[in-house]
Amino acid sequence: MAENGTNGTNGTNGQGYVGTRTIRPDGVDKVTGRARFGADFNLPGQLIGRVLRSPHPHARIVRIDTSKAEALPGVKAVITRDDFGDQPSEFIPAGEMMMNYKDVVRNVMAREKVLYEGHAVAAVAAISAAIARRALKLIDVQYEVLPHVIDVVEAMRPDAPVLHDDLFTAGVEPKPDKPSNIAKRVEIAVGDVEAGFKKADVIVEREFKTAPVHQGYIEPHAALASVSEDGSTELWCCTQGHFIVRAHCARLLGMDIAKIRVTASEIGGGFGGKTVVYLEPLAIALSRKAKRPVKMVMSREEVFKASGPTSGATVRVKMGATKDGKFVAGFGELKYQAGAFQGSPVQPGVFCAYAPYDMENVKVIGYDVVSNRPKVAAYRAPGAPISEFAVESVVDEIAKKLGLDPIDLRMMNAAREGTKAAYGPKFGPIGLEQTLNSIKKTEHWNTPLRKWQGRGVASGFWFNIGGETCASLTINEDGTVSLMAGTPDIGGLRAALTSVAADELGIPYEKVRPIIGDTGSLGFNFLTGGSRSAFSGSMAIVEAAKQIKAELCARAAKLWEAKPDQIEFKDGHVRPLGALAEKVKPMSIADFAKIAGKTGGPIGGYGRINAQGAGPSLGTHLVDLEVDPETGRVTILRYTVAQDAGKALHPAYVEGQFQGGAVQGIGWALNEEYIYGADGKLQNAGFLDYRMPVASDVPMIDAIVVEVPNPKHPYGVRGVGETPIVPPLGAIANAMENATGIRFTELPMSPPKVLKALKERGLNKV
């Protein structure tokens, strides 16, 4: 049997579906409004659940009195911290971050303290939303307000208010004896940066600051839980990982995993923000208590205040290069704010900072710092956009100082196959150079600009992951195929997997129907994150198809009384070889399906893997922008993305990842930020003042799909979903420098900041 994917051929049409722009099988339901997202499920007799949230950024909970709420007619259950057992301190992987269950249970429902405005304190389930809202007002919480700290540098000070008196900085020697807000220090180092700097002809050192930004998914969190008298639980929720949700809920509620069946609804965006639990354990606890289904949906304000944005950070980068442009030293110090509980993505930020480049001497230090903000959650290549923004900005300054073309400078130092990254691994084939070359060849790169217009380029890296994946293929009695995957489909996965299954089995695309199975239907699937679902899912499908093909050949051998070497599977049929071909005719999958019962029973394949060999995806972005010098307003004129997909299973959805990530990056660079008052409260908890790009804010995003196959995947696939958000911050900052002559080091580069900088230099005239 072939070890590699059929990679472009398909018995039915000779062409193959992989690599073509098929219509996604779940598409019709989505364009007609039929598809069911998290809040679209309802059960008869359901109650509406709502959460009481802390108005204070930092306070001790002295007392919670729920008696009046419980007495309100129509209220069927009220829960507080008393309804959740405490959890010991234990780190478990979640997506690409590690989480501590002691923290998880406290984030889900505050215990000793509230640690951010919006922190859940209690929840009610009632027969209507109006009664639930009234019940919340009747819960009496006595708080002892404590001083709060928001900013990461402030939180690191020795005299800062301490959030957790059992948090001692890990990763420093000697171990501290006083608790602080610095949860850990991490470091990577190769070579000798001090020696490297001595060799440098040019050194640039800069400090950068970024604000927390939210993933901005349009669908708020939603969950519907129904617990039976024997404890069996059904849960529908929008999530990037229903097996993870099951694991968390089982843990937090003290249940057997098998007793919880989680169905992932269609999901209205996640970008990492739906890899954790917020409402799900609350809905289950309420349903258990009320003995009725409980539906909970967050408001947009709750999404901003109580779900996790990504970190804000302060980053210092120092790079040295010779006059020929060789990077001889790279230093970084990253301070990432984790929100109320430890676990910022500072480690991936540290790993990725210099990863696009082949450098002998690198040292990057990172600090994970807590502060009184919502606990951060993953946001698309978590940690990397921030550190790579800083490095790409400094790379650009070095290019300017040396009089070198910024693409040529990156090319000179580009990591390639065989490069050993500062964070450890040796790269297989990777496509950074190809993306740089693609950009250089574009008409975009060669189009002249006018005054107050600037062009910027930046590259980016994300490592991608594989992970535990189970998927099945079942041959139905009529020869059609049912495909079941276990990672929620965020944006085209079913289309890609259907193409793979159709090509592997040599049957028409329309004869394969995919679903995302619930947790009772498949073995453990790690979540949709780390750009892994197409990469791992397709590997599992290839494995399942392999099993089916082997099974069919074995049945043919029996039927034809032939030996295995006289039989092969090709182009959707089991075929007799050599002399046997004169005696029997090839048989299709449908032929075998008709006689499945008589030849051994139902036919299927089940791929259960821990996908290895994920290859990094590198990209280069090019942006033209124009600054209005009298107002500081920035218009993005033109944008091109070139990124290595390895093999694009579905080119349109790969392009879509490039375009979507680029526009998120544009928002992050120019206008998005969490704005806090001195009182520690979020001032812009809505889409009006949390300013994400709208359609008129951005131009078309040209997408160039580079394909440097990943040799470890049967089709050469690399994950592509996360890398697109990494280069925009640097590319836009570099374009701003070219447009204005000013190096902006603080994001977002919003008009008041830009105008102030222009005015200080007397430049604010047309």
Partner 1 sequence: MRYEAPDSLDRAVALLADAIGETRVLAGGTDLLVQMRADVVGPELIVDIKKIPETRVVAEDKGGWRIGAAVTGAELKEHPRLKQVWPGVVEAANLIGSTQVQGRATLGGNLCNGSPAADSVPALIAAGAVATLAGPRGRRDLPVENVMLAPRKLALTKGEFVVSFLLPPRLPRSSDAYLRFIPRTEMDIAVVGAGVSLTVDETGTISAARVSLGAVAPRVLLVPDAAAAIVGSRLDRAAQDRLEAAARAACSPIDDKRGTVEFRIQIAGVLARRAALIALDRARTS
Partner 2 sequence: MAKHHIEATVNGDAVEFLCETEDTLLDVLRDTLQLTGSKEGCASGDCGACSVMLDGRLVCSCLVLGCEVGGRRVDTIEGVAKGQTLHPLQQKFLEHAALQCGICTPGFIVAGKALLEQNPNPTDTEIRYWLAGNLCRCTGYDKIVTAVKDAAVAMRKG
Please tell me whether residue 759 binds partner 1 under the rule CB under 8 A: yes
Q: Which residues contact 362 (CB under 8 A, 6 or more apart)?
A: 188, 189, 190, 191, 193, 329, 330, 331, 354, 422
SS (H, E, C) 610-661: EECCCCCEEEEEEEEEEEECCCCEEEEEEEEEEEECCCCCCHHHHHHHHHHH
Q: Which of residues 709-738 bind partner 2 (CB under 8 A)?
A: none
Name which of residues 300 to 339 contact partner 1 (CB under 8 A): 301
- Regarding 141 and contact with partner 1 (CB under 8 A), the answer is no
Residue with smaller CB distance to partner 2, 92 or 130: 130
Q: Cβ distance 663 to 701 under 8 Å?
A: yes
Name the binder of 259 from partner 2, partner 1, none, CB < 5-8 A by kind: none
For 553-569, give the DSSP string: HHHHHHHHT--GGGEEE
Interacting residues with partner 2 between 298 and 357 (CB under 8 A): 299-300
Residue with tokens 């980016």: 460
Site for partner 2 (CB under 8 A): which residue of 30, 60, 451, 558? 30
Contact pick of 324, 631, 679, 741 for partner 1 (by CB under 8 A): 631
> Which listed range, 210-218, 278-286, 441-449, 748-756, lies at the site for partner 2 (CB under 8 A)?
210-218
From partner 1, partner 2, none, which one binds at residue 446 (CB under 5 to 8 Å depending on kind)?
Answer: none
Q: Report H helices in 675-726.
A: none
Whole-number minimum distance, CB 214 to partner 2, in Å? Answer: 10
The interface partner of residue 631, options being partner 2, partner 1, none and the CB cut-off 5 to 8 Å by kind, is partner 1
CA-wise closest residue to 617 among 650, 641, 592: 641
CA 13 vs CA 506, 565, 575: distances in Å? 9, 27, 18
* Shortest distance (Å) from residue 766 CB to partner 1: 10
Is residue 271 at the binding interface for partner 2, with CB under 8 A as the rule? yes
Site string for partner 2, 645-664 (x = CB under 8 A): -----x-xx-xxx-xxxxxx
Please identify which residue in 6, 24, 135, 227 interacts with partner 2, judged by CB under 8 A.
Answer: 24
User: In residues, how long is the chain?
Assistant: 766
Q: How far is the CB of 212 from partner 1 (least distance, A)?
A: 14
Q: Which is nearer to partner 2, 579 or 688 (CB)?
A: 688
Rounded Cα distance between 626 and 635, Å, is: 5
Which H or E run contains 757?
A: helix 751-760
Block residue for tokens 């959650």: 377
Assess 762 for contact with partner 1 (CB under 8 A): no
Instruction: Please say which residue, 170 or 692, places its beta carbon nearer to partner 1.
Output: 692
Q: By C-beta, is 203 or 701 nearer to partner 2? A: 701
- Residue nearer to partner 2 on the CB measure, 541 or 662: 662
Q: In the sheet where 140-145 sits, what is the strand order?
A: 113-114, 59-65, 140-145
User: Are the C-beta atoms of residues 223 and 283 closer than 8 Å to each other?
Assistant: yes
Q: Beta 327-339 vs 362-370: how paired, if at all?
A: parallel
Beta strands 512-516 and 481-485: pairing type? Answer: parallel
Cα separation, 466 vs 537, whole angstroms? 9
For residue 752, state whether it binds partner 1 (rule: CB under 8 A): yes
Nearer to partner 1, 40 or 301 (CB): 301
Site for partner 1 in 245-304 (CB under 8 A): 301
| Rg of the Cα atoms in the chain | 27
Which residues are near partner 1 by CB under 8 A? 301, 630-633, 635, 670-671, 675, 683-684, 688-689, 691, 693-694, 696-697, 750-752, 755-756, 759, 764
Which residues are near partner 2 by CB under 8 A? 21, 23-24, 26-28, 30-37, 39-40, 42, 130, 215-220, 266-271, 297, 299-300, 490-492, 650, 652-653, 655-657, 659-664, 686-688, 692-696, 698, 700-701, 703
